[in-house]
Structure 1
Amino acid sequence: MGNHKLRLSIAVGNYDRMRPLVDGDVQIDGVDPVFMLQEPEEIFFRAFRHADYDICELSLSSYSVKTAAGTSPYTAVPVFPSRAFRHTAIYVRTDRGIEKPEDLKGKRIGVPEYQLTANVWVRLFLEEEYGVKASDVTWVRGGYEDPTRVEKIALNLPGNVRIEDAPEGETISSLLAAGKIDAVIGPRAPSCFDQGHPQVRYLFEDPHKTAADWYSRTKLFPIMHTLGVRKTLADEHPWLPGALVKAFEKSKALALTRLSETGATKVTLPFVEDQLRAARELMGFDFWPYGFAENERTIDRFLAQHHAEGLSNRRLQPHELFHPASLESFKI
């Protein structure tokens, strides 16, 4: 017989918290993994169009759309490979009188896709903190740098939300650079911002400080991606969801241990120890938690917003996103 492990394809981003798994320092019980390190755009496109992978990172928003509709080929485990504060996700023209978030009302804002997780979180805080609603602006949808990018998932939005497609052959980055739109909201910086366009800047003067202040009030550290396992696999191997949670948790813990060994720093960034200390002071020792109980409230806030926006056709409860066997983790 020999050692018959499940040979499974696993598509994730190339993050420090994945390296111990990818490098084989951490094993997944019973699994012989074939890792594919890819950008989220590729993973999500292939996962939601064709369910290409056995296990993969999933956009929290797209996965919620599919789960509410009952059409997701994946079930998730409470592992959150990507999280980010999105106060850096709003880029504005300097010549449109946009000094503060409220000034976005009545403006034309470019988005790579309306339903992107980052954009749901941005709309959540724009509305809650500043009273700017999705219906207060005109949304212009197009690829950042490639005019052929499409919205991965069919949307059924409220009638008062105005979405236009970018003109043929135009990207939202080129529209912003040319001043044909007033702002862009999205998880990556448009190239015109990266290239230092003189009339394009962050909406928030100090996004880091604004986000830290928001966190200290709300205790929300936005989740971007979760980890999906093909439903048929999880049904066939009931031990698999728990094994994944355990291994990914171990991998992240090892990455954080390495990050805090600053005698010889592991990342190419000065002052990383100060960043780490500041994050722990603000957010606690385990500032990037996996597990259901630790994240239930954050997910619930997201799902409420997601449904209110008309993205999910019903109001999901947080536990519905995850395989039942992964909801509780054993403690040693």
Structure 2
Amino acid sequence: MKKLQISLSCGDYDRTRAILDGRAQIEGCEVVTAAIEPEEAFHRAFRYQEFDVTEISMSSHMMTTARGDNEYIGIPAFISRVFRQSGIYVRTDRGINTPQDLKGKTIGVPEYQITANVWIRGILKDEYGLEPRDVKWVRGGIEEPGRGERSPIVLDDDIDLTQIPDDKTLSQMLEDGEIDGYIGARAPSCFLRGAPNVGRLFGDYIEAEKDYFRRTRIFPIMHMVGIRKSLVEQHPWLPVSVYKAFIKSKEMAIHELNEICHLAVTLPWMVHHLNEAKALMGDDYWPFGMENNRHTIETFARYHYDQGLSKRLVKPEELFHPAALDLSKI
């Protein structure tokens, strides 16, 4: 049988590298791969549907699924996960010492809808009682001016969100004291350069994130894998083949992390860090599959709906192709 030719785009992570370099094959397919940054993949996927299989934003996928205009259907391979207490940056000269101190402050976001910010706002509300309407939000590019939302959004009237001038960036505004803080997936360059009066809200963010996991058992999902719906309609076997390849690629990455003879990552105590993660989070500390992640997905769906990004509460099952929901039965 002639193999199906498909294009695939995702970040060059250790957990996806075996797919990108061909060690983890997608059954029945010849794959043309593109290892690109997530933001670029999202833009090209959600605007132009350029790739057959692609890394997609959990937030954008949930929003388009709720609207019924999603061009991609997901598989529960969660190739990006990050705790987000580390993603809150503040002016240290404004009396902002606790999350509650953000009330009434002006906080920058690169996009209101990005997954990291949905998690951060949800955590601030659940854990500290800070509502999104308690903050004045300003949106724009972090390092380059002119950024807007990748997909149109309509927010509730009580959300104060404005676009910054086209000649300004959030990092520079934070450094200059024009805004009180910034939340996002990437650290602003002013923080990385050690600019005066710019720091993290949670100084010991690692302990804050460990404590959050102990209490909630949530390891926040950022990105998943989507397959073009029109292609799946023609080839209904494709979601399982793609999912199996991503499972294999992740297993290979974790096996390599545990190799103490020759370290796979340029860190001296990588195996120790791996064992620390397992001790806290369990052997399957980076789980794939919907049921293994149901609580996390339902929590995110609640945040997404509460923040006005999806106009109805999306059920986890709606995000994924049915054939990939329980691979053990296939």
Q: What's the TM-score, normalizing by structure 1?
A: 0.98
> Which residue pairs with 2:12 in the alignment?
14
> Which residue pairs with 1:108 in the alignment?
106
1:2-47, CA deviations, whole angstroms, 9 ceiling, x for partnerless residues?
x511111000000001111112111111011111000011000111
| Secondary structure in 2 matching 1:77 | strand
CA distance in 1, matches of 2:12, 2:315: 30
Q: Is the 2:52–2:227 contact (alpha carbons within 8 Å) kept by the matching residues of 1?
A: yes
Per-residue deviation, 1:331: 6.3
| Secondary structure in 2 matching 1:10 | strand
1:65-84, CA deviations, whole angstroms, 9 ceiling, x for partnerless residues?
11100111100011111000
Per-residue deviation, 1:270: 2.0
CA distance in 1, matches of 2:36, 2:278: 29
1:173-202, CA deviations, whole angstroms, 9 ceiling, x for partnerless residues?
110010000000000000101111121111
Per-residue deviation, 1:167: 2.0
> Which residue pairs with 2:191 in the alignment?
193
> Which residue pairs with 1:297 in the alignment?
295
> Which residue pairs with 1:25 in the alignment?
23
> Which residue pairs with 2:33 in the alignment?
35
> Which residue pairs with 1:257 in the alignment?
255
CA distance in 1, matches of 2:269, 2:187: 24
Identity of paired residues, percent? 49
Letter in 2 for 1:192: C
CA distance in 1, matches of 2:146, 2:166: 9
In the alignment, structure 1 residue 163 sits paired with structure 2 residue 155: no
> Which residue pairs with 1:148 in the alignment?
146
Q: Is the 2:79–2:224 contact (alpha carbons within 8 Å) kept by the matching residues of 1?
A: yes
Map 1:57-72; keep pairs closer than 5 Å.
57-72=55-70
Per-residue deviation, 1:158: 1.1
| Secondary structure in 1 matching 2:149 | coil
Map 1:119-158; keep pairs closer than 5 Å.
119-158=117-156
1:221-268, CA deviations, whole angstroms, 9 ceiling, x for partnerless residues?
000001000001111111110111111001100100001002211111
Runs (4+) of structure 1 moved beyond 4 Å?
A: none
Letter in 2 for 1:290: F
Q: Is the 2:119–2:220 contact (alpha carbons within 8 Å) kept by the matching residues of 1?
A: yes
> Which residue pairs with 1:239 in the alignment?
237
Q: Which runs of 5+ in 1 are unaligned?
A: none
> Which residue pairs with 1:86 in the alignment?
84
CA distance in 2, matches of 1:113, 1:69: 19
RMSD of equivalent CA atoms = 1.0
Map 1:174-213; keep pairs closer than 5 Å.
174-213=172-211
Q: Is the 2:175–2:196 contact (alpha carbons within 8 Å) kept by the matching residues of 1?
A: no
Letter in 1 for 2:58: L
1:139-160, CA deviations, whole angstroms, 9 ceiling, x for partnerless residues?
0100101112121111111111
Letter in 1 for 2:296: T
CA gap 1:159/1:270 in 2 versus in 1, 3 angstroms: same
Number of aligned pairs? 330
Q: Which residue of 170, 173, 184 maps to 1:172?
A: 170
CA gap 1:168/1:21 in 2 versus in 1, 3 angstroms: closer
Per-residue deviation, 1:323: 0.7
1:111-158, CA deviations, whole angstroms, 9 ceiling, x for partnerless residues?
000010000000111001111110001001001011121211111111
> Which residue pairs with 1:99 in the alignment?
97
Q: Is the 2:100–2:128 contact (alpha carbons within 8 Å) kept by the matching residues of 1?
A: yes
Q: What's the TM-score, normalizing by structure 2?
A: 0.98
1:57-116, CA deviations, whole angstroms, 9 ceiling, x for partnerless residues?
000001111110011110001111100000110001111000111100010000000010
